[in-house]
Amino acid sequence: MSPKPKTQNPNPLSIIKIGGNIIDNPTELSQFLSNFSKIDGNKILVHGGGKSATKMAQSIGLTPQMIDGRRITDAAMLDVVVMIYAGQINKNIVAQLQATTTNAMGFSGADGNLIQSTKRNHPTIDYGFVGDVQKVNTTLLDTLIANGIVPVFCAITHDKKGQLLNTNADTIASELAIALSQVFEVTLNYCFEKPGVLYDAEDDSSVIENINQELYSKLKAEKAIHSGMIPKLDNCFNSLSKGVQKIKIGHHRMLKDSKSICTSIEL
């Protein structure tokens, strides 16, 4: 099916996803939210919080499991991630944005049926209560944004059958960007503690300033890119192929300094 023509709303939309290392550092989070609040125009924030969830899980005797950067979520772990993502982190971020006069509102995918998912069905791995996004309620999101609301999404969706599902925050940002690219001119930024995608994970000066699919495949084969960066970049290339205009990965300073070094994603 060909994309719908972008006739409903010609305005730009910035979708920003922040990672756990920013969330876990109060100073970095405050600086990021200050930068985010100064972005002109329409915007959406998506946050993870995996490190906080891992710490909480370990404190109550649970052993977190990850496969290729994705969390295995049994019933007990689901309780933890809902509590941390949709509760503690989401509401703290919303409160801090309100202090910057940004009229933010926190959401899970279940709120307003904004993001509907299905429980992942993998042929060899039981991911537990993990969701794969199926539908984004663009009509309600467009209404919220038109009324000056800045949505703040945590990494929880639902299946519309009463089940909450842990859903990769990078994927949520990507799926929001794809769906809303039918309505807005979308820029997607992934912000984390590094200045971009690195040739050497231990060397912050080794930023890959432009990465396309060919180079990505090569770096994956060489194991230079691995773990959580794989789903992030997979989502980036998927987004670009489905209508998202521009994607960058880097430190949150790139939000206020257009000359800041970061990684631009290209098809």
Residue 87 labeled ligand binder? no
44: which strand partners?
A: 15
CA gap 232, 190 in Å, rounded: 8
CA gap 198, 203 in Å, rounded: 7
Q: What are phi and psi of 265, to 5 degrees?
A: -100, 130
Least Cα distance to 181 among 232, 122, 246 occurs for: 246
Tokens of 6: 């972008």
CA gap 262, 265 in Å, rounded: 10
Beta strands in the chain (DSSP E): 12-18, 42-47, 65-67, 70-72, 104-107, 115-119, 131-136, 150-153, 156-158, 164-166, 185-191, 210-211, 246-250, 263-265
Question: Cβ of 29: how many Cβ atoms within 10 Å?
Answer: 20
Strand 156-158 and strand 164-166: pairing? Answer: antiparallel
Residue 21 labeled ligand binder? no
Give Rg (Cα) of the chain: 18
Residue 166 labeled ligand binder? yes
Task: Compute the C-alpha angle 135/66/205, nearest 5°.
Answer: 95
Residue 50 labeled ligand binder? yes
Tell me the binding residues: 49-50, 71, 166
Tell me the binding residues for substrate: 49-50, 71, 166
